Amino acid sequence: MGIDDFGTGYSSLAYLRRLPVDFLKIDQSFVRGLGTNNEDEAIVSTVLQLADALSLAAVAEGVETAEQEDVLRGYGCRFAQGYRFGRPMRAQDLSLGR
């Protein structure tokens, strides 16, 4: 189970203790500022450290640029999604490379 849009709205830190969480999805509103906004970088790096400390995976949402990808890799983020990697598509058009 994961917590979507972590760091916004109803994603309380208390959920990390109450729910059987496996991963956090870092909200794209923070990812968008990577490389240009020190506050967003501080938030993203802290969420990644928190996930690591709790043995959770972290997924960065809304990655659109090579610079965002580079910053995330520099912080040790292993999972990301966004237009940088592919546009939305129908399930029948998805090739899994088998």
* Structure confidence by residue, pLDDT tens digits, 33-88: 999 999 999 999 999 999 999 999 999 999 999 999 999 999 999 999 999 998 88
- Catalytically active residues, by annotation: 61
Task: Decide if 95 is inside a domain.
Answer: no
Domains in the chain, number: 1
Task: Decide if 96 is inside a domain.
Answer: no
Task: Decide if 94 is inside a domain.
Answer: no
DSSP code, position 26:
E
Host domain of residue 29: 2-15+24-87
Task: Decide if 39 is inside a domain.
Answer: yes
Task: Decide if 65 is inside a domain.
Answer: yes
Residues 6+ apart with CB under 8 A from 76: 48, 52
